Chain A
Amino acid sequence: MAAIDQATELAAKPRARWGNRLERAEARTAFFFLLPGLIGMVLFLVVPIIASVVLSFTNWKLLGTPEFVGISNYLRLFTADPQFWPVLRNTLFFTAEYLVLNIVISLGLAVWISSLKMGQRWFRVVFFLPTFTPGIAVAIVWMLIFAPGGFFDFIMGALSIQIPSMLTDQTLAMQAVIIVSLWAGVGYNTVLFNAALDMVPQSYLEAARIDGANAWQRFWKIRLPLISPTLFFGTVMTAITSLQVFDQIYVMTRGGPGNATATLGYAIYQRGFQNFQMGYASTIAWVMFAMIMALTALQFWLQRKWVHYDN
């Protein structure tokens, strides 16, 4: 036995050395293959991220050299800027309403589409179409519809419904932005949830049916828990994109009327590229980043309570 062990050990040693050499050579090759991607990531992701952290502590105005100002940008944002809290409130309001409506509508549509005997594919394409369309183009068309004296006002007038013009009313302007965002964003989640619903094994549903579960119970007790990982993914991604909302607001309202639709994403653009306060805009961007991180972390923590993984 000992001889055999010794022989095995002797045989294994050069193989291990040879294996290490091979691994090292492979690692080197892999490194060179990965290098283009790595360079791109460092240049276009890591460096700008670090630069924006540094910029948030300066008063850089795009033109001229930046001066280090310590945490004064952050102090100004939280204590002196009269617009920060309304902007934060608008962002959270938009996110909450848009997120709930988006998930409810897209889930409803997904369930409806999956219940169809025919035309499933066709409806999937129809609802997914807005996702292909550039956001700016969508917002321009909707802006023309909602503009004072535009198509929407004409329809309301024809129906004798007394309603202020959407984009000039402080309350309705945000609702107009949400309607446009839903039109453009619901399709993606619909297709996502529909695919997940189709993956639910028919045998589970059939077993439940035999046990006497009605359609409502089958949805709540079987289908929803089984698609909860996809639902969670959709919720996280939608929350992140809605916290960053910009295109619709840039085109439709420019943050107005007043500050009714000014959000963090728009505030970054306004401070950075209209007022040329790059340092201050970077500060807002980092606050937005911190918010998104915190909210995503919260969602991951909450998922333990409602997301079921099938393992």
Chain B
Amino acid sequence: MKLSTVLAAAFFASSAFIPTVQAQDQVNLTWQMWGDENDTALWQSLADLVTEEYPNITVTPQISGWTDYWTRLPVLAASGQIADLVAMQSMRMPSFYAILEPLDAHFASDDFDTSVFEPSIIAGLAHDGTQYALPYDVGPWLVFYNRDKFAEAGLEEPALDWTFDEFKAAAVALTEGDNYGFAGQAFDFIAGPVALGAEYFNDSNEFAVTNEGYVDAVGKFVDLTAVDNASPVFASGAGAVTASGRFASGNAAMYIDGPWSLISTQGAVDFQMGVAPLPRGDGDSRFITAGSGWGISAASQHKEEAYKALQILTGPKAAEILASAGRALPGRLAEQTYWYDVAAKDVSGTREVLAYMFDHSTPFRLNEYWNEFENLITQYMPLALNGDATTEAVLADIQSQLPF
């Protein structure tokens, strides 16, 4: 009797012990990411790479739509339900760095070298000199143009260092009837003026959007619509779909987008398309780049394992998969060639244009109120475009609503 009691106790003790050991060894990481349903298999294949390398680590992607992602992220973080691995876009880093684990100590532990990545995106995913995420993609805003329309109008294709005047002349020449030479959208009033040499910040990194240089540069893009009628007025609610839609349907000959859209735009058009850098002002060309990456949640219970997974997810093999699928121009320099050879092979000049733009990249200046600024640009710029207000008045209105 006594012996059986002891045996039973030993059995229960050991059976209770087994799952504990397994739980310690087997780690399941959650991975929060944006994307649509078509991307699910792609992200899963990256997650599988982690398990291949570290059989005790499984990664479960949690995908949500782009807009929802940014509404959910702070809510999940505030309620303690944030995933172990978190996707982050460089432009939103100043608002969200606090929910991410600083990576510098991890880099020091295994002598990780970030110079394998494009420097502008490594800077973009850092905040105040501390690295919070590693990139999977990168890219500057560039001009997508319809080569067939350029040829029909007898225009020369854009040079790498084309000026705003040349860009404007092309837009005007390509405008005919209801077809526009260019389709502007909200972000053009940020990337465009920077390329022309203007600044929206003062020296203390605070918004100063009424400075003469910025007003003048924004005014140049506004005039394409308000004066030259070479670009349509965009609606504040329609988002970026309109410009790419107009371009794909042949209604607009040029628009501004990033390499992340190249594969989808290319698939939607039935003409030869090319890419060109944003036009420069009187000075040298300069371009801002953006990109996205993944960081480790500061609240994660498995930071060591998450760091291991992060290295695989941003590693060479994962970059090759994403680049070959056209999903991303890799942040990793060595693997960018897969994107050029596969995703961008039918778009002329991509390699030269992007190499030129990375050579002339300028830091993308951001602060914690960036999101508000972008929303205000989308909401208020149509007033300048349809002639209801001057560029100066619109920018003064935006400035009055920004915290500084």
Q: Which residues of A contact B (CB under 8 A)?
A: 62-64, 82-83, 143, 147-149, 164-165, 167-170, 249-259, 262, 270, 273-276
Could you give, for residues 250-283 of chain B, a 1 whenever the CB lies within 8 Å of some chain A CB and a 0 otherwise? Answer: 0100000000000000000000000000000000
Separation of A253 and B238 alpha carbons in the complex (Å):
7
Q: Contact check: which of B246, B380, B386 meets A168 at CB < 8 Å?
A: B386
User: Which of A62, A63, A82, A257 has the most chain B CB atoms closer than 10 A to its own CB?
Assistant: A257
Q: Residue on B with the closest CB to A62?
A: B74
B371→A256 contact, CB < 8 A:
no
Q: Is the CB of A251 within 8 A of B371?
A: no
Chain B 65-93, CB within 8 Å of chain A: the 1/0 string? 00000010011011000000000000000
CA distance A273 to B397 in the complex (A): 22
- Hey, what's the 0/1 contact readout for B366-380 against A, CB within 8 Å counting as 1? 000101100100111
Cross-chain contact of B237 among A62, A63, A253, A274 (Cβ < 8 A): A253
Please measure, in the bound complex, the distance between the C-alpha atom of A158 and the C-alpha atom of B369, giving whole angstroms.
44
Task: Please tell me if the beta carbons of A257 and B380 are within 8 angstroms of each other in the complex.
Answer: yes
- Cα-based distance from A167 to B77 in the complex (angstroms): 36
The answer to the question of B98 belonging to the interface, with a C-beta cut-off of 8 Å to chain A, is: yes
Seen from chain B, the residues whose Cβ lies within 8 Å of a Cβ on chain A are 71, 74-75, 77-78, 95-96, 98-99, 178, 232-238, 242, 246, 251, 369, 371-372, 375, 378-380, 382-383, 385-386, 388-389, 394, 397, 400-401
Main secondary structure of the interface of A (DSSP, over half): loop
Task: Please give 11 more A-B residue pairs, beta carbons under 8 A apart, in addition to A149-B242, A170-B388.
Answer: A82-B401, A143-B237, A148-B235, A167-B236, A170-B383, A252-B237, A256-B378, A258-B382, A262-B379, A274-B375, A275-B369
Q: Are B382 and A168 in contact (CB-based, < 8 A)?
A: yes
Chain A nearest CB, measured from B118 CB (Å): 28
Asked if A257 and B388 sit within 8 Å, CB to CB, the answer is yes
User: Given the interface contacts A147-B242, A170-B388, does A257 sit within 8 Å of B236 by beta carbon?
Assistant: yes
B176 to chain A, nearest CB (A): 15
Q: Which residues of B contact A147 (CB under 8 A)?
A: 235, 238, 242
Residues of B within 8 A of A168 (CB): 233-236, 382, 385-386
Chain A residues closer than 8 Å to B380, beta-carbon distance:
256-258
Most chain B CB inside 10 Å of its own CB: which residue of A147, A149, A251, A275:
A149
Complex Cα gap A82–B401 (Å)? 7
| Cross-interface CB contact of B382 among A62, A82, A256, A270, cutoff 8 Å | A256
Give chain A nearest CB distance to B394 CB in angstroms.
8
Closest B residue to A275 using CB positions: B372
